[in-house]
Amino acid sequence: MLVIGLTGGIASGKSTVSKRLHDEYGLTVIDADQIAREIVEPGKPAYNHIVEYFSTRIPDLINRENGSLNRTALGRYVFVHKEELQVLNSLTHPEVRKEIIRRVLSSWIHFEKLCVLDVPLLFESRMDELCGSTLCIVCDREIQLQRLLKRNPEWTRQDCENRIDNQMSNDERKERADVVLDNDTTLDVLYDRLDKSIRRMQPSTAWTYLEVLCPPITFLSAAFCFLRNLLRRSQFESSYKRANLKKVE
């Protein structure tokens, strides 16, 4: 099974692409934003940890009517306090990762050829290490802001900019990803580019069955993929550091 990591900045078009991959190709899409919502429902361990840490810092952290987290208040706070965002990530990401791995295994035992991980922070949270291939959606910052303001009218332009500025830059994502899809124009153009990329990525049915029926093959191919990804990460990080050092000089 090929695991495709789908990533991109906020409002770049990941959910739009995921929906097409699900509706047109019948692929399983594992949505990290959705999982991140589920693991902070009242009573869950991550919810308790968040309340313990943030309730003294954010007075309206909890919605009175049902005890759920006030996500707008939490978002407004963490996206202007970088170190607090790191705390929130450390409380949520391990749980999100565990659930993603559980769902990937479930797709594998159901003989699925391809499965998609829709993860906004794919590279930041090292989830790309689990992927056979990575697909990044990019669009121009101003278009991204306009789409975001239209989709989330409750956010100010400053709220939107704070989110974008707390994410990896498009340049870095483009360098790390295997495939880059531009989403600056119409949906038809995006779908056309996506269809071409997905057709090239499809593994054969024979390979999919072989992997499930012969677990050592899966193990070897997963280990190969994981090591290749680690190597690519370390090469990327050292060349990135060198480039930054040059800029400073």
Ligand X SMILES: Nc1ncnc2c1ncn2[C@@H]1O[C@H](COP(=O)(O)OP(=O)(O)OP(=O)(O)O)[C@@H](O)[C@H]1O
> Which one, 96 or 139, has the nearer CB to ligand COD?
96
Sort 212 into a burial class: Cβ within 10 Å, 0-12 / 13-18 / 19+: middle
Is there binding between residue 187 and ligand X (CB under 6 A)?
A: yes
State which amino acid sits at residue 142: E
Measure the CA–CA gap between 30 and 105, rounded to whole angstroms.
12
Residue 32 contact among ligand X, ligand COD, none, beta carbon within 5 to 8 Å by kind:
ligand COD
Query: What string marks each residue from 126 to 155 as x (binds ligand X by CB under 6 A) or -?
Result: ---------------------x---x----
Q: Which of 32, 62, 131, 148 binds ligand COD (CB under 6 A)?
A: 32
CB of 210 to ligand COD, least distance (A): 32
Sort 23 into a burial class: Cβ within 10 Å, 0-12 / 13-18 / 19+: exposed
Is there binding between residue 5 and ligand X (CB under 6 A)?
A: no
Pair 64, 71: CB distance under 8 Å: no
Measure the CA–CA gap between 162 and 32, rounded to whole angstroms.
20
Among candidate residues 173, 99, 168, the one with its CA nearest the CA of residue 135 = 173
Measure the CA–CA gap between 27 and 31, rounded to whole angstroms.
12
Query: What string marks each residue from 101 to 140 as x (binds ligand COD by CB under 6 A) or -?
Result: ------------------xxx-------------------
Is there binding between residue 7 and ligand X (CB under 6 A)?
A: no
Q: Which of 2, 4, 6, 36 binds ligand COD (CB under 6 A)?
A: 36
Residue 63 contact among ligand X, ligand COD, none, beta carbon within 5 to 8 Å by kind:
none
Is there binding between residue 70 and ligand COD (CB under 6 A)?
A: no
| Number of residues lying near ligand COD (CB under 6 A) | 20
How far does Cα 108 stand from its chain's mean position?
20
CA dihedral 23, 27, 31, 32 (to 10 degrees): -160
Residue nearest to ligand X (CB): 15
| Residue ranges of E strands in 51-119 | 114-118
Pair 30, 100: CB distance under 8 Å: yes
Residue 166 contact among ligand X, ligand COD, none, beta carbon within 5 to 8 Å by kind:
ligand COD
Looking only at residues 16 through 55 of this chain, which bind ligand X when binding is defined by CB under 6 A? 16, 33
Q: Which of 190, 198, 211, 229 binds ligand X (CB under 6 A)?
A: 190
Binding site for ligand COD (CB under 6 A): 10, 32-33, 36, 71-72, 74-75, 78, 85, 88-89, 92, 96, 119-121, 163, 166-167
